[in-house]
Amino acid sequence: MPGDTELAASSGLSRSSVRNAIRQLREWGLVRAEPGRGTYVREPRQRIRRRTTERYQWEKDRVLRDEAERRRTGGTEHDTGLTVDDLTFHAEYSQVEADQDMAAAFGLPVGTLLLRRTYWTSSRHETAPLSLSYSYLPYDYVKANTQLLSADHEPWPGGTQHQLFTVGIELDRIEEVVRARPPLPDEAELLDIEPGVAVLDVRKTSYDTTDRVVEVADIVFPGDRTELCFTTTLRRWHR
């Protein structure tokens, strides 16, 4: 883009107004500033097209389908309209002890052993992930299936709901709490977030049919390219 002085002269605005406009464009993710080089227009970024609450029923229905069908598509493809071949997937597994936050979320004692999974998925045409997911499962709930204990079998066809299905767990409901916050430094770097852009932090809590919390996940979305859609079906009045 032209410099501040040139833009101010061509637009008839003050340099401070031009700088404020460019800052707004950066916060929207439309331009990027490179120190010592100037400001550049970004290529269009891949968006999470629409993440809806209906996706979880779609995932549950998919659990009972054969493996070939489960491998054809996943949750990210469902949200973005991309195909499996358009995406690159990353997973890291580790074992951690529950801190106070996770212990309270699960209703388990502090120090309970958890399986921590970190996921991110990127479009093959971009380096920045579409989202980050930090998922926790109580180790004792899933240890019966040793394939669930390492990232060697990721991406798992059918995702977490199918993984839990292999150890006899059926989900009853999923609760999500969304908050906006500044990104942590490592999140800003990995997600390629411009200064001033917030992330949407979704705390997802999954309950099984016995009302037990079986997964807690913190999913972090870049606020400048994510759309969340919540649909609530209302009961009708009986007259």
Are 28 and 63 found together in one domain? no
Are 203 and 87 found together in one domain? yes
Give pLDDT, residue 230.
83
Are 61 and 95 found together in one domain? yes
Global confidence as pTM: 0.78
51 alpha carbon, distance to own chain's centre? 10
- What phi and psi, each to the nearest 5 degrees, are found at residue 101? -65, -50
Helix (H) or strand (E) holding 164: helix 159-165
| Residue 239 covered by a domain | no
Are 139 and 225 found together in one domain? yes
CA-based radius of gyration for the chain? 21
Enumerate the H helices of 87-147 as residue ranges.
Answer: 100-106, 139-142
Are 117 and 165 found together in one domain? yes
Give pLDDT, residue 48.
54
Are 86 and 192 found together in one domain? yes
Counting the structural domains of the chain, the total is 2
Give pLDDT, residue 28.
67
CATH of the domain at 120: 3.40.1410.10
Are 26 and 133 found together in one domain? no
Give pLDDT, residue 29.
64
DSSP secondary structure letter of residue 130: S
Are 32 and 118 found together in one domain? no
Are 124 and 212 found together in one domain? yes
Residues of the chain where predicted confidence (pLDDT) is lower than 50: none
Task: Report the alpha-carbon angle 64-66-67, nearest 5.
Answer: 115
Tell me how long the chain is: 239
Range of the domain at 173: 48-229
Pair 46, 77: CB distance under 8 Å: no
